[in-house]
Amino acid sequence: MFNFDVKRYEKVVEDAIALRPQIEAAVDKICQEGYSNIFFIGCGGTYAHSLPMKYWIDGSSSIEAVSVIAAEFMAAPPKKLTKDSVCVFSTRSGNTKEIVAAAKFCKDLGARTVVYVSNDNTPVCEYADYKLFSFAEDDCLCEAIYTYMITLIARFMKNKGEFPKYDNFVNEYAKVVPYLIKAKELYEDRCAKMAAEHKDTDYHMVIGSGMLWGEAYDYAMCILEEMQWIKTKSIHAAEYFHGTLELVEEDTSLILFYGEDETRPMMDRVMNFSKKVTKVINVFDTKDVELPFTDDEFRKIVSPMIMYVITERLSCHLEKERNHPLTTRRYYRQMEY
């Protein structure tokens, strides 16, 4: 595969999986002490990656969960946030201003803070009651974050008696790395072709739903907009029919994220309409990917991570075709704002 280091990738994901005992110990202690609710607090990608976790909890558990954007959280702290809350953070750099400020606020309030960080000894670590560290960089950060959050939430649900298949799930998940690499290989050629065809396309619509709405939001904003400077709109499949469809023409580029949860029929509805209008539809489907799970429920749980795994191949090839490094920024962290 183009620009892909298998050994490096294996180490990053396996190191994240190896955090499981630490995650379990943290959750078990919190559950023993008692808690009222869970807040996922992030910005950009880390906010986006929390949305599938909230969707999963809302449909599978009685745990109260909230996903919030850090800056808005600080501007108007929710009344349901108390010292009994659990505040969950993820950060690559460990120094994102909004995340550090929110973590300090939660810590000062007396809430428990659980922080995944891929750069140790950074400012956010000071405010972590439970710090989970494993090294990762942008191209494989998502796998580390999802491994952390999925394990965390699965353990909370197990301890509440709402995920009796926990042991089966985490034992099978521990075998996932070779399957992630195969997933990338499966999408390699089609992503190379898509990148070549779309190197000059100046506008995309990225559409998703359910467990994959967060990934549609993330791919549009954090990859195509931030890292490639391409005008893009993320659209929820259910909301596509309440305005955005009027902008679709025969050459409009649609990128459809198909998952394996209850909202898949919404994606079919988008497809059935759109193919009557535009000739430019590309589909990423987690059902294409072989995984080590014996239960379809487990596939649903990991589907947002699988979507990131396969779309990373498109990002990599767009970087090449457009001669635009994914690390290049004009404004982000380049100036004060």
Domain containing residue 260: CATH number: 3.40.50.10490
Do residues 145 and 269 both lie within one domain?
no
Tell me, yes or no, whether 136 and 192 share the same domain.
no
- Report pLDDT for 72: 98
Asked whether residue 152 falls in the same domain as residue 195, the answer is no
pLDDT at 31: 98
Strands of the sheet containing 203-208, edge to edge, are 231-236, 203-208, 253-258, 281-285
- Element containing residue 272 per DSSP (H, E): helix 264-274
User: Is there a domain that residue 332 lies in?
Assistant: no
Question: In 3D, which of 31, 149, 38, 143 has the Cα closest to residue 90?
Answer: 149
Same domain assignment for residues 257 and 275: yes
Q: Is 0.85 topped by the overall pTM? A: yes
Within this chain, do residues 96 and 214 fall inside the same structural domain, yes or no? no
Same domain, 138 and 82: yes
- The answer to whether residue 266 sits within a structural domain is yes
CA distances from 69 to 7, 72, 113, 232, 309 (A): 34, 6, 16, 20, 24
| 169 shares its domain with 236 | no
DSSP for 233-246, written as a single string: EEEETTTGGGTGGG
Q: Domain boundary at 123, 151, 173, which?
A: 173
Where the chain has pLDDT below 50, the residues are none
Q: What is the pLDDT of residue 269?
A: 98
List all residues 6 or more positions away from 196 whose beta carbon is below 8 Å from its beta carbon: 317, 321
Q: d(Cα 195, Cα 237) in Å, to the nearest integer?
A: 24
Contact 279, 251 (CB under 8 A): yes
Number of domains, the chain: 2
CB 109 within 8 A of CB 135: no
Question: In the prediction, which pLDDT does 335 show?
Answer: 87
Whether residue 333 lies inside any domain: the answer is no
Q: Which domain holds residue 66?
A: 6-173
> pLDDT value at position 336?
84
- Looking at residue 16, its pLDDT comes to 98
- Is residue 65 assigned to a domain? yes
Listed residues 119, 146, 173: the one ending a domain: 173
Q: Which residue has the tokens 């997933």?
A: 183
- Whether 14 maps to a domain, the answer reads yes
Rounded CA-CA distance 52/50 in Å is 6
